[in-house]
Amino acid sequence: MTEYYQGPNNSAQLKAVTVILPTVAAFLVTWRISWRAWKRVIVLSDYLLVLGLCLSVCLAGFNLDPYFRWGYGYHKADLPPEIQNALTPKICFWLNQIFFKATAGVIKLSICTIYMSIFKDPVLLRTRVARYCNFALMCIIVIYYTSGILVSTFQCKPIHKAWLKDVAGECIDNNKFRVANAYINVITSILLVIMPYPVLLRTNQRKETWQFLGLIAIGLL
């Protein structure tokens, strides 16, 4: 075993990020939902936000198990054969792909539903345009992320070939799919950040507006 686990190890950084971000998110979501429940103003965006948090916790679990038990953070060549050939981390990786898209889609849809209340009185032209853009973006998010979940789930035929590479069958080119998914994630995140600015910056509540926009920008990072 001495020849293994000798190379660079980034698992500590991966563990820290995977634990800290969901913990902070859980605190903020709990604070928001508690306050809104006390005010009796729970709406669709809040339910979606809670669902997104639950999905993100599952996603973190699928990452943490390989970090702690299966050598994620090391180069593959630095791991012993029994770790390299283990099924559990491969299944976790398959689930990770599915839950990542589900989490991103639900959270972005939650933000879009918040925007619906902002654009609910489309008197000005810019508000009407923003409202139509928001509806269009919601459709894109629902269609793309639903499709992405299905593609990730059924990326191989048969399905279990996703974690059993020696099984006869075929799989999609996951590298190309991940690149395309990254582009879609970045583009939709940018649109979510910039879309409300033209409308909100015209309001008189500048302090609240900047707090809201800053929260949205930070949440999408």
Per-10-residue mean pLDDT of the chain, 221 residues long, equals: 68 83 86 85 86 91 84 76 83 91 92 82 74 91 94 91 87 87 89 79 59 57 51
Instruction: Note the pLDDT of residue 72.
Output: 80
Three-state DSSP string of the chain: CCCCCCCCECHHHHHHHHHHHHHHHHHHHHHHHHHHHHHCCCCHHHHHHHHHHHHHHHHHHHHHHHHHHCCECECHHHCCHHHHCCCHHHHHHHHHHHHHHHHHHHHHHHHHHHHHHHCCCCCCHHHHHHHHHHHHHHHHHHHHHHHHHHHHHCCEECHHHHCCCCCCCEECCHHHHHHHHHHHHHHHHHHHHHCCHHHHCCCCCHHHHHHHHHHHHHHCC
- The answer to whether the predicted template modeling score (pTM) of the entire model surpasses 0.75 is yes
Instruction: Note the pLDDT of residue 195.
Output: 81
